[in-house]
Amino acid sequence: MSNNLNLTDLNCSSNQLTELDVSNNLELAILYCSNNKITKLVINENSIFTNVFCYINQLKFSTLPIIANMNVGTYQYAEQDVIYGGVKEYTDTVDLSSEYEINGYITNYEWVEVIDEEEKEIVQPTNDGGIFSFTEEHKDKKLRCKMTNEQFPSSMVGGMYVSPFIIEYETDIVDGISENSITTHFTISPNPVSGEDATASFGLLESGEITIEVCDLLGECFYNITNFYDTGDHSVTLDIKGIPSGSYICRILTKGKQIATESFVVGK
């Protein structure tokens, strides 16, 4: 879109776009790009928009573009896809520190329990710069973290949320993963990955059928393999040549239960 300098109105909603750059379109006043899979939206902050609709995408809290006219009636960024962080033991931590400070604004995190899509207030987990620690009180619950800051608030207009929370991160907090864990170590190398494959190295305390998955932060899986492994150390080559650049989670499962996870980055 960057070469069409006279463009004033663009509607590209409900497609399969993953990136959109309109930074050179200074005459652009109306942008509809909702209901895509956009992870990167580039807008010239000096452009004077009358409407920007970029809701229902995969934008992260820290990657929402800044525009000159930040009126909530004209800039609607709500309902980005929920990031699912997988199953966590209550003794684990959840790292959302990448969203802690955005353009000098400190993020407000609010955790709630989700029961049949209804939200229930809970005692907030300990927050250390966006890294959260839980207690036994949080176990066996599906938790959701909702984030706002002064620049991107949860704004109420006419009794209706126009632009509610930017990112909603969900995780299932359980008890006893480590008690049943059969792994001694788990690493991904190299990390970041720049080639067509990576190596998952792990050790097992007992033999059994093991599944290895590679999923993005939204829970979409790109790689899955199941084999029987004996006790001891193992290395498995992960074919990632068809995986786009981004952040991923590699999971080890046995009998349907996640027993180990490792985060890594693909950069091509």
* Tens-digit pLDDT string for the chain (268 aa): 555 677 889 999 998 898 999 888 888 888 999 988 888 899 887 677 888 888 888 887 777 787 766 654 577 777 776 776 766 777 788 888 888 888 888 988 888 888 877 888 888 999 999 899 988 888 878 888 888 888 776 643 333 333 334 445 666 665 544 434 678 888 999 988 888 889 999 998 888 899 999 988 777 788 889 999 999 999 999 988 888 888 888 888 887 777 788 888 888 6
User: H or E segment at 105?
Assistant: strand 105-106
Model pTM above 0.75: no
Q: To 5 degrees, how large is the angle CA 67–CA 70–CA 75?
A: 90
pLDDT digits (tens, 9 = 90+) for 168-194: 566 666 554 443 467 888 899 998 888
Q: Is the same domain home to 91 and 167?
A: yes
Q: Is the same domain home to 166 and 87?
A: yes
Q: Is the same domain home to 145 and 186?
A: no
Q: Is the same domain home to 186 and 144?
A: no
Q: Is the same domain home to 220 and 241?
A: yes
Q: Is the same domain home to 166 and 107?
A: yes
pLDDT digits (tens, 9 = 90+) for 145-171: 888 888 776 643 333 333 334 445 666
Q: Is the same domain home to 87 and 170?
A: yes
Q: Is the same domain home to 47 and 114?
A: no
Give the integer Cα–Cα distance in Å for 228 and 207: 7
Final residue belonging to a domain, choices 134, 155, 174: 174
Query: 251 by DSSP, 3-state: which?
Result: strand
Residue 262 sits in a domain whose CATH number is 2.60.40.10
Final residue belonging to a domain, choices 60, 78, 96: 78
Q: Is the same domain home to 72 and 104?
A: no
Query: Which residue segment(s) compose the domain that 202 sits in?
Result: 181-266
Residue 88 sits in a domain whose CATH number is 2.60.40
Q: Is the same domain home to 134 and 160?
A: yes
Give the integer Cα–Cα distance in Å for 212 and 258: 10
Q: Is the same domain home to 160 and 93?
A: yes
Final residue belonging to a domain, choices 34, 55, 78: 78
- How many domains are contained in the chain? 3
Residues 252/210, Cβ–Cβ less than 8 Å? yes
Q: Is the same domain home to 190 and 114?
A: no
